[in-house]
Amino acid sequence: MKKKCILFIVFTILTCSVKAQTGNVGIGTANPGSKLTVNGSFAAAYTSVTANTYNAGENDFSIMWDGTANGTITLPASPTSPDRTGRLYFFKNASTAYNLTIEGNGSELIDKDLNTVIQPGESVLLTKTNINTATGITYRVLSLAQSQQPYMYTINGDATQYVAQGSATQLTFSNVEYSTNGGGDFDPATSSWTCPQSGWYNLEVYAEVTSSTVYSTHTALILVKNGAIQQKLIAIFTPGYTVNYIAGSGTGSQKLNLMKGDVISISATPCYGCGSDYTLFYTRKLNISRL
């Protein structure tokens, strides 16, 4: 009698399994309207990664990364079996200082590229395509979210500053005119700005000059990062050099991929004869925005 009960239970389970596979499956509902309907909460694997390199595994879903340097996570290979078409991977860069690169496996591509890079605070959702080969577009980006808040900064200096010809002199900035985070990234003692979070920034500088002698005909504005010359932004030219106090102004900009903690300042080099004569700087302004 017990054997008949066991056989009946096994037969019932097998019958239900076959029916479930041919129709809709419901969890918490008797009338599922989709292939799988869940009337309740849903949970998937959560992995916290602090290593700078990591291989996404078969059982990974949400991966939160917070490494100690720029990191790389490699996706699984795409063999014909098992077929992973439609599989989802969610990556979050929880670092405030480092970029995270999501790599395709070997020659496999993510949206026609070998990798996709997410900056600090960003997240990306990937889906597996129906291509199961060692090459080709095996993953697609479904969404890329930037969780960073808008960042804008304006620093000015309106007091007269004298700069000698022929030498790079750091320009002074006196105060924060506008900021979206309270202005704490500017140090008036050093006239420098410190990058608060790694990422791409646009730096734009404006200066108004007057040559005090007949020798200065142009002034180069120079972007300095961590004490080293990074880029000459612009050269401000005056109309001529035969009359004293010739006015000129100019604006230059540069896009930079900065790391958290990078220190930015602006220098100027007036020159024609490169002697000991001076240029007077009046209005000076530095605009910084995170891209």
Q: Which of 129, 146, 163 is the last residue of a domain?
A: 146
- Output the domain CATH number for residue 51: 2.60.120
Q: Are strands 115-118 and 100-103 parallel, antiparallel or unpaired?
A: antiparallel
Residue 94 lies in a domain: yes
**Based on the domain organization, do 134 and 225 belong to the same domain?**
no
How far is 201 from 255, CA to CA, in rounded Å? 6
What pLDDT does 214 receive?
45
Closest by CA to 263, choosing from 195, 174, 191, is 195
Domains in the chain, number: 2
User: Has residue 30 been placed in a domain?
Assistant: no
Judge whether residue 211 has pLDDT over 60: no
State the DSSP code for 262.
-
If asked whether residues 261 and 283 sit together in one domain, one would say yes
pLDDT above 80 for 274: no
Residue 194 has a pLDDT of 94
CA–CA dist 268, 58 (Å, integer): 56
- Judged against a pLDDT cut of 90, whether residue 263 lies above it is answered with yes
Residue 17 maps to a domain: no
* Residue 196 and residue 238 in one domain: yes
Same domain? 202 vs 142: no
Q: What is the mean pLDDT of the chain?
A: 82
The last residue of a domain, from among 146, 172, 193? 146
83 and 187 in a common domain:
no
Residue 2 lies in a domain: no
Q: What is the pLDDT of residues 28-86, one digit of tens each?
A: 998 898 988 999 998 999 999 999 999 999 899 999 999 999 999 999 999 878 888 99
| Assigned domain for 225 exists | yes
Q: Which of 124, 146, 168 is the last residue of a domain?
A: 146
Share of the chain above pLDDT 70, in %: 79
Q: How far, CA to CA in Å, does 291 sit from each of 12, 32, 167? A: 60, 45, 32
Would you place residue 199 in the very low, low, confident or very high pLDDT band (cuts 50, 70, 90)? confident
Q: Which of 39-43, 164-168, 281-285 has the highest mean pLDDT?
A: 39-43
More confident residue, 158 or 11: 158
Range of the domain at 97: 43-146
Output the domain CATH number for residue 268. 2.60.120.40
160 and 133 within one domain: no
Residue 212 has pLDDT above 60, yes or no: no
